[in-house]
Structure 1
């Protein structure tokens, strides 16, 4: 087996050396020129995401914690998981009023409160890197301070989107944020609540992840 393997690899190397492949530079002109106006970007994102059951709520930089709290109270949420080490988490802690859903800090390894996360958390709040007009997608950048489980496990995912953090294309997101120089373990592109058509090819939402995706547009 060893001789056969060596022979095959030697043959492949010889073929590669005898027929080198010329590298062709990529042409990103189409992506560079695909543009929408500022107002049109947000309307396009909303239209495309609402088509797959995403919900939108408007807020301002001053009142978004109160808007989120009121929305979750009306939705019947009892517990809200958040990342205390983030800027958004600090705002929640300082602004959260009594009488609303209970804030639950995500400041422990998941193994220490796995059961609570999967059975006792109603909503999770995350920041976003922005949204893409071309595809109608949110961009999440998970980190040690804000792990991806915040957006994947709770039944309701609250995503905070700053109205000026809008991009035309995924290519623009990657280039302007210099992804080539360093990426997290994973970046998430989210267009709506979880869905599947595995069962009799019937489309169903909220089967293996959040049942609702709420985008809070912060103007």
Structure 2
């Protein structure tokens, strides 16, 4: 009998009966009760505390905000998808601009070097935000692969203000992850960061050096 089999045998033959799952109280991870204004304020404060930038824009004029960000950041080559409404609208608006639009619906091996060396920024949609941690959550697809948010020096993410939830637990509950958990969900809280043994925090070492969130509002943009 192998060591693994011996361990499993002892577990099955416990003298005090089989193991049971402990009772879990999820009240500690939900039920914040924040209104939309507080939710938004918390999200912006926390993502800003780790060098994330938030640009507010009306829903109807978010492309203008995107254009201003591209100019301010000196972006010449922008990687983005095609099918999702966010990249589709951006492609249409930027078609006659000086920005080169980089297709991402290619096998990574065919353009890996290009992605790492000559793409200035990646544009993605988001599925929502989390107020408690100042995080975005993304559900990558073949149209918007995860590498366009993880590799280029700048990640530009478009977030609808109404899609910000209180906590991560609320996201899991509201979007039914128990019945259909995403295979590749991403949580993004600011640009890439790491720390050495001396606890010195550095940004942009293994991924984007900057995260810009274009926060779209259907109502009046807060002052």
Q: Same fold (TM over 0.5)?
A: yes
Do 1:118 and 1:153's aligned partners in 2 also have CA atoms closer than 8 Å?
yes
- 1:179 is the counterpart of 2:191: no
Alpha-carbon distance between aligned partners in 2 of 1:46 and 1:118, rounded to the nearest angstrom: 29
Do the aligned residues in 1 keep the contact of 2:12 with 2:18 (CA within 8 Å)? no
Provide the aligned C-alpha RMSD in A.
1.8
- For 1:112, the equivalent position in structure 2 comes to 110
Change (3 A) 1:204 1:5: closer
Give the number of equivalent residue pairs. 217
Give, in whole Å, the separation in 2 of the partners of 1:12 and 1:55: 51
Residues 9 and 28 of structure 1, relative CA distance in 2, 3 Å threshold: closer
The answer on whether the counterparts of 2:30 and 2:170 sit within 8 Å (CA) in structure 1 is yes
Matched position secondary structure for 1:164 = helix
1:36 corresponds to which of 20, 34, 37: 34
C-alpha displacement of 1:4? 5.4
Structure 1 residue 65, shift from structure 2 partner: 2.0
Deviations 1:66-90 (A, max 9, x none): 3212211221111000011211121
Name the SS for the 2:38 alignment partner: helix
Residues of 2 paired with 1:127 and 1:150: CA distance?
11
Give the superposition deviation at 1:26.
Answer: 2.1
Provide the residue aligned with 2:221 in structure 1: none
The separation in 2 between residues aligned to 1:164 and 1:14, in whole angstroms, is 53
- Rounded Cα–Cα distance in structure 1 between residues aligned with 2:2 and 2:50: 55
TM-score of the aligned structures, taking structure 2 as reference length: 0.90
What does 1:123-202 correspond to in 2, within 5 Å?
Answer: 123-198=121-196, 200-202=198-200
Quick one: distance in 2 between partners of 1:46 and 1:6?
52
1:66 and 1:96 in contact (8 A); partners too: no
Where structure 2 has 5 or more consecutive residues not aligned to the other structure, the ranges are 218-223
Q: Give the deviation of 1:9 after TM superposition.
A: 3.3
What is the aligned partner in structure 2 of residue 59 from structure 1? Answer: 57
Following TM superposition, by how much is the alpha carbon of 1:144 offset from its aligned partner in structure 2, in angstroms? 2.0
Q: Is this contact kept in 2: 1:73–1:100, CA < 8 A?
A: no
SS in 2 for 1:147: coil
TM-score normalised by the chain length of structure 1: 0.91
Q: Distance in 1 between matches of 2:116 and 2:194?
A: 20
